[in-house]
Structure 1
């Protein structure tokens, strides 16, 4: 456990990582007793971690049911994309030519997405694709934005989970992520920004369509 992190911090981060990894899905119950034994932690510590996840918009307390992983709706999606446009487009427009290590990180995320797609592990495709966008925000070189965006990513992951057909939803984005990387690598910020803007518009539109009441059978 890294220094300076309390056990509650550690558990909060781990549960958030489970959400980003698609292991905790919307509507799942987070049972105090189970977490106490899983983490060998006190009830108070678990409560503190669950409280933090609630503050981060990842869990919800439901009367008579306890704490559940949150389901997000259309308003949440609009808000998340407002944040994405602000941070990701700003990161691109303010970016310097990509350093090797920045390019390498993006390529690693794209490579991992590609491999997950080949094994048709659509959940992992979503997770690795979001990692690519975390590296875009990383171009701002702001630990505060990185931390904030990790939470945005966890919320987005919960939206992706609601896709009735995750393969259809996840399939088209990899080529577009790759294009954005290549434009950045070529130093064409304007074209990269345009590509990202279009990407975010299309992604938001698709998610809102998916959440529209008519799409529920």
Structure 2
């Protein structure tokens, strides 16, 4: 964690990581007094951290209830996939051959997803798959886009939490992540781009279908 971050920024990042990890779910309350105690921070610091999460689209204030983790609307999900197509497909299009470090990071994310699936920890499957896609965006070599996409995947994580059957929802993606990685490892950008485009089309379709079955 960068040393120049304020305490409020650090707390916001930790809470975002809890969302990405599936530990904070849509509708959960973020109780100010409990966070003050947990982080040994002032109320103003906690409020600043919660305000940052609100700016990232991860929380909202509900009258008489306080700050809660958000549930996203259908149109917001559509917009997230516009962003994903823009960043992930552009990252593939302009990427060079993977460096050893890039390859290792992607392989580590896929290995973690594989282990989570073997344990039938579907929440972790979703988290590690998103980490793989964070590595794809990392091919742009842009700290700004990396940070922005971390906010995007946190919002996506809130969408995936709505799946009534996590196993059925998460099962298809690991093999497709492996396929995309294999194309990138072989520097076959056209095939990787086509596989990613189909992946995102199917993922968007399934994500939007969650809103048809409240």
CA offsets 1:61-118 (integer angstroms, 9 cap, x no match): 0011100000012111100000000000000000001111111110000000000000
Instruction: Report 1:1-217 matches (<5 A).
Output: 2-212=2-212, 215-216=213-214
Return 5+ residue gaps in structure 2 as ranges: none
CA offsets 1:133-185 (integer angstroms, 9 cap, x no match): 00000000000000000000100000000000010000010000000000011
SS in 2 for 1:68: strand
**Whole-Å Cα distance in 1 between the matches of residues 46 and 32 of structure 2?**
7
Q: How many residues align?
A: 214
**Whole-Å Cα distance in 2 between the matches of residues 189 and 30 of structure 1?**
43
- Offset of residue 210 of structure 1: 1.3
**TM-score for the superposition, normalised by structure 2:** 0.99
CA offsets 1:43-78 (integer angstroms, 9 cap, x no match): 000000000000000000001110000001211110
**Whole-Å Cα distance in 1 between the matches of residues 6 and 192 of structure 2?**
40
SS in 2 for 1:57: coil
**Whole-Å Cα distance in 2 between the matches of residues 162 and 113 of structure 1?**
20
**Whole-Å Cα distance in 2 between the matches of residues 109 and 211 of structure 1?**
29
**Whole-Å Cα distance in 2 between the matches of residues 121 and 20 of structure 1?**
14
Return 5+ residue gaps in structure 1 as ranges: none
**Whole-Å Cα distance in 1 between the matches of residues 62 and 105 of structure 2?**
39
**TM-score for the superposition, normalised by structure 1:** 0.97
**Whole-Å Cα distance in 2 between the matches of residues 187 and 9 of structure 1?**
38
